[in-house]
Amino acid sequence: MSLLLDQPVWRVIDQSSLGSGFDGRQSFAVDDTLCRSVGAGESPCTARLWVHRRTVMLGIQDTRLPHLNDALQVLRRAGYRYAVRNSGGLAVVLDDDVLNLTLIFSEKEQPLSIDESFQAMVDFTKKMLTPFAISFETGEIARSYCPGRYDLSTKGRKFAGISQRRIRNGVAVQIYLCVGGSGPERARLIRNFYKMGLQGEKTRFAYPNIDPLVIASLAEISGQRLTVSMIITAILRTLQSLGRVVPSALSDRESRQFGIYYERMIRRNEKAFGNDAIHPQQD
């Protein structure tokens, strides 16, 4: 178990039930805000829970597809919002059955390696899933969407991916957990996104050749009827086993800082998408 997880206090911000008014740009601005607070020593290490309805979070490379507008039309027709995030990786599908967790650490006193921070999230997830008798391997699932060294999978079927963001001595490690729903259905959406975005053209960047059968939800993998609320409860219990848990919201100072980071996210998306930067929520 990573020593990073043993904290005297875990601050918890639960934004998992904010609904359709809470979009992806806001979410990543919140993580930047908390990164700054934790890195400055103004906040203890923080866990944030978040859910977005029918949203595809794109990576920077996704916005460089040769036929981006055609690719975005695939998402619009399927009733998905989209935004480009400021952390690493490629396109990821979020919906009501996908739970996101951010663990935010400080490296004010001691630098944290990239692998050390990733491993902390792997260890946390392993401990959190133990009551469900779900075990997994860590390593890239090449034909998944958003493949990476820290993909989490069971028997070659990926259910989670991890990314990382660093700001001013704060380290935000973000994981998406496909709890329920259809993994292959999510994968087909992103496969069609890349098919229309590339239209057979060769590009310098190698976009994933997605096989829908290598993506699955925890419910599909385990055969259990799992829900986001069940996993949230497991996360909170795991945090309580590691330190004192303090439910929280953004402070006044953090709320002001959030406005600055949110404006940056708006500008980032306007630069990437122009007039298509904001797409109405489909319920």
Spatial distance between the Cα atoms of 53 and 116, rounded to a whole number of angstroms: 31
Q: For residues 189 and 78, is the Cβ–Cβ distance under 8 A?
A: yes
Kind and range of the H or E run holding 140: none
Q: Which of 35, 45, 146, 178 is catalytic?
A: 146
C-alpha separations of 23 from 14, 78, 157, 188 in Å: 15, 17, 28, 23
178 classed as catalytic:
no
Residue type, 47: A
Question: In which region does residue 19 sit, left (phi positive, over 0), alpha (psi from -120 to 50) or beta (all else)?
Answer: left
Residue 32 neighbours by CB distance under 10 Å: 23
Evaluated on CA atoms 129, 83, 81, 211, the torsion sign reads negative
Strands of 55-58's sheet, edge to edge? 81-84, 55-58, 92-94
Active site residues: 146
